[in-house]
Structure 1
Amino acid sequence: MKTSLLALLLLSTPALAFPVTVQSCNREITFDAAPTRAIANDVNLVEMMLALGLQDRMVGYTGVSGWKTLDAELRAGIAELPELSAKYPTREVLLDAEPDFFFAGWNYGMKVGGEVTPETLEPLGIKTYELTESCIFVGPKAKASMQDMYDDLLNLGTIFGVGERATTLVEGYKARLAEITASVDSTAPLRVFVYDSGDEAPFTAGAYAIPTALIEAAGGRNIMDDLDKSWATVAWEPVVERNPEVIVIVNYGDVTAEQKIAFLETNPAFAGIDAVKNDRYVVLEYVEATPGPRNIRAVEKLVAGFWGN
């Protein structure tokens, strides 16, 4: 009895290895099959899905237009997808879309004790994967590292059955990062402050926020890396005392990067800061300063801004 060519091909094609289990913050999640109706919250999480070619597995996204704008690159990637909620989604918004998967994070679409959490969505048939950077809100975590972003991509690859694609992507990012930082001398790191927003008190990146890892990769040190938080509000006094040599401006929202720089340069309280005196600023777009594929591009901008490369 002859075996057809199609049968041979099917026999030689490895089956997707489900069920799979991944770590999500302090939980393990098991998937019996790859999700087919996913939703991602925030621009950086959406871009992780796009980088893995998963837009055809998505039914929409949330949490973008209420705070940020999509650049041309992202608009093209999600042109066929609806924005289901301009800010954080409610359970009703998610249920109306009938998803089977929600990719979000703590303060990236979910609030501790809020109505949308992995625990509230699980009984509704929606599995949730949490952004690794945000895990500090629900348990202990090591300080931010580039591995946080890599792990998210690799876990998404496992969840959606595109593990090889994810591994190839991450290895490419690692190789590019090594190339960008090859000439960086980290023995005398520059003092760097991250200015996200706020006039009376600045909102900035602490030990667990990805800019700390980006800055370190580029040969700097976040002057707030002893802040036992992810993103948080601090006083201006310690910023002045620690005297950053470079200020990283996060560009998004109603107040532009240019306006933030003007605020720093016209306030007498900041006149003695080295970064202000020497006009040393590096502007990162929101999608570059939060975990996602553009973190590599962000390091490249930081290296150029720190060392003039």
Structure 2
Amino acid sequence: MKKIVLALALSLVPAPALAFPVTVDSCGKPLTFDAAPRRAVIQDLNMSEMAFALGLQSSMVGVTGITGWYKVDDTFKSKLGAIPELASKEPTLENLVAADPDFFFAGWYYGMKPGGDVTPDTLAPYGIKTLVLTESCVHLDKTRPPASMDLLYGDMAKLGKIFGKEQQAEALISGWKAELAEIGKKIGGNGQTRVFLYDSGEDKPFTAGKFAMPTALIHEASGMNIMSDMETSWGTTSWETVATRNPQFLILLDYQDGAGYKKLLDFLHAHPVMKETDAVKNNRFVALRYAELTPGPANIEAIAKIAKALHPEAF
């Protein structure tokens, strides 16, 4: 009886009012919301998964930049539900304005280009506020710190604040930190394994540099990105540079969900200088999806996969 009375009493306590207005940082500029967005559009797989993690589907009127680039699994389709894809690759200003959104979550070279058709400045006159993915801010500000897990944690906290779901965001972040702490206990702090990420490209490899999320993931898995001195997020280098640094382990970006990485591996085995590297000779690699290597909830599982492949004896 006491439990019933207590439950009834608690049900009569008014829910605390959401603390609006709120202001978050978006690439160094303040972005203020007087209320949670009600008509959001989210760009790309990784940012959509961030929105799904907070259960924002009821506040979304569209996604962009997904099926034109990637295959999606049934889990993603289920979470997306009836939310339409407004553009399969980069959205146009017309695509977005037609959906009458009040919020756009995207990044530089994640659906937007500096000086392009779709930017925070071009969207603002239509009442669309844009949160810019923090990892991408380096394209406008070269003084930013190297990639770390704060790229994920910070953007999730911002989304939570913007949509009045701060507690949910904090719980997610705390859970992720706990998972990574457990991985860290198993593998220790030896970060000397030389790792190279191969995204694409034959004449020159496209890879992750100092400011790209994989540098943080590799570090968390107790490895070292051999291209972490590249003063960019994602960019190209030369095969000679990679081979000289002699990677011991590879991360292959798999755009085709289980099949794409094989072409990359076959290419490396046939390449005149890469076939002599330790990683290729010993066939040491892990294949990861795009969403696992760009900021998003899948980063945590990606770190676990890298750690297990680098340190199988610890698991």
TM-score, normalised by the number of residues in structure 2: 0.93
Q: CA deviation at 1:166?
A: 0.5
Q: Which residue of 1 aligns with 2:57?
A: 55
2:308 is aligned, of 300, 304, 307, to 304
RMSD over equivalenced CA pairs, Å: 1.7
Counterpart Cα distance in 2 of 1:11 and 1:21: 28
Structure 1 stretches of at least 4 aligned residues deviating more than 4 Å after TM superposition: 8-11
Q: How many residues align?
A: 304
Which is worse superposed, 67-76 or 28-37?
A: 67-76
* Partners of 1:104 and 1:128 within 8 A in 2: yes
Post-superposition Cα deviations, 1:63-95, rounded to whole Å, max 9, x if no partner, equal 011111111211110021111001110110000
Q: Which residue of 2 aligns with 1:123?
A: 125
Which is worse superposed, 94-103 or 115-124?
A: 115-124
Counterpart Cα distance in 2 of 1:304 and 1:213: 16
Correspondence 1:266 to 2:270: yes
Q: Which residue of 1 aligns with 2:179?
A: 176
Which is worse superposed, 74-83 or 98-107?
A: 74-83
* Partners of 1:186 and 1:220 within 8 A in 2: no
Q: CA deviation at 1:11?
A: 6.5
* Partners of 1:210 and 1:289 within 8 A in 2: yes
Q: CA deviation at 1:269?
A: 2.1
Q: CA deviation at 1:14?
A: 1.1
Q: CA deviation at 1:270?
A: 1.5
1:271 is paired with a residue whose SS is helix
Q: CA deviation at 1:185?
A: 2.9
Q: Which consecutive residues of structure 1, in runs of 5 or more, have no partner in the other structure?
A: 1-5
Where do residues 180-259 of structure 1 align in structure 2 (5 Å cutoff)? 180-252=183-255, 256-259=260-263
Q: Which residue of 1 aligns with 2:40?
A: 38
Over the matched positions of the two proteins, sequence identity in percent amounts to: 50
TM-score, normalised by the number of residues in structure 1: 0.95
Q: Which amino acid aligns with 1:301?
A: K
1:290 is aligned, of 294, 308, 315, to 294
Q: Which consecutive residues of structure 2, in runs of 5 or more, have no partner in the other structure?
A: 1-7
1:84 is paired with a residue whose SS is strand
Counterpart Cα distance in 2 of 1:123 and 1:138: 22
* Partners of 1:40 and 1:60 within 8 A in 2: yes
Counterpart Cα distance in 1 of 2:264 and 2:184: 28
* Partners of 2:239 and 2:273 within 8 A in 1: no
* Partners of 2:54 and 2:160 within 8 A in 1: yes
Q: Which amino acid aligns with 1:215?
A: I
Give the direction of change, closer, same or farther, for the CA distance of 1:35–1:10 in structure 2 (3 Å limit). farther
Counterpart Cα distance in 2 of 1:54 and 1:272: 48
Q: Which amino acid aligns with 1:164?
A: Q
Counterpart Cα distance in 2 of 1:94 and 1:261: 38
